[in-house]
Chain A
Amino acid sequence: MTEPKPRREAGLPSARRGVSLRERLRGPWRVVVSERSMTPGIQPGDWLLVDPTVARWPRRGSIVVFREPDSELLAIKRVAAGPGDRVALDAGHLVLGDDEAWLLSDAPLGELAAAGGGAPVDSRRYGPVPVDCLVGRAWFRYGPLRRVGTLAGGR
């Protein structure tokens, strides 16, 4: 009997440890957004549907809900880079681990500054985010009614 072909295990990004599917099914399934770092695409007050069953970082361009490292706040940002990707920094670059993502705000820096905000609070502040912080993928806006629709992946 021939050897079965080796599975691509080495290449698979890591999954959320210790969170069973049953726990993930508890949600959140529906969230409301507060604050403005994801404008103009996502406005404060928007009602979003979230898929909390995701076990791995969704692909680049996806909007994700996650626990912010250190603060434990439930936050929402976009996946700018995923496991194994290379992120350019001011002084060189960083290669993400197989369970890490680089999450960024959508709002342009100028807009954030004009609104009185300081430096963006995303991976530029707290670095790569491990997949254990992942809570779900936001995929659809169901409120307000005039802006109902799927969330665009990638800007």
Chain B
Amino acid sequence: MFRLSDILAPTTTVHAHCDLPCGVYDPEQARIEAESCYKIIEKMGANSDPTFTTRAIAIKEERAELAKHHLDVLWHDYFKPEHLEKVPNLHEMFWNATKQVSKVKASTDLADARKLLDMIDEIDAAWTATGGPEKTRVAKQTA
């Protein structure tokens, strides 16, 4: 037997959502995933075993996607309009870097992975120049 409230209850949830960012940002997260991709490509060059290659490709896709995610978060949430003064080519930098991630996904060329690392280093410089380390990281405790 249905209760009245079961019949009347809403069918769908809508989100009046706010955001809860932790405020921690560091291009290092993207770099580590990009380094993974670099190492995987390096190892693929030295090992032609088909099972190894299959696993390597799968893992590279995964890590590259994570690199892209970390870059997206930096772009959307860390960088603000006022940073454009210090980093006028900000948007282009991120556009190129995320496109490079897509390239690395498909590539077995170490040069592509190297290029991605260089692009992330550029972004790291922008993050540092805009006060990223001081503003967004929790300092290590000194003894």
Partners in one complex: yes
A residues near B, CB below 8 A? 27-39, 42, 44, 47-48, 65, 68, 73-77, 90-91, 105, 107, 112, 115-121, 125, 138, 142-143
Size bracket of the B interface: 10 to 19
Q: List 8 A-B contacts (CB under 8 A).
A: A30-B8, A31-B11, A35-B15, A37-B17, A75-B14, A118-B19, A119-B21, A120-B19
Partner of B20, one of A38, A44, A117: A117
Query: CA separation between A34 and B10, bound complex, in Å?
Result: 12
- Establish whether residues A105 and B9, one from each chain, have CB atoms under 8 Å apart when the complex forms: no
Using CB atoms, name the residue of chain B closest to A143: B8
Query: CA separation between A14 and B9, bound complex, in Å?
Result: 33
Using CB atoms, name the residue of chain B closest to A73: B15
- Establish whether residues A28 and B17, one from each chain, have CB atoms under 8 Å apart when the complex forms: no
Partner of B15, one of A48, A75, A90, A118: A75
- Establish whether residues A47 and B16, one from each chain, have CB atoms under 8 Å apart when the complex forms: no
Query: CA separation between A34 and B15, bound complex, in Å?
Result: 5
Task: Give the shortest distance, in Å, between A13 (CB) and chain B (any CB).
Answer: 23
Residues of B within 8 A of A117 (CB): 18-20
Partner of A30, one of B9, B15, B17, B23: B9
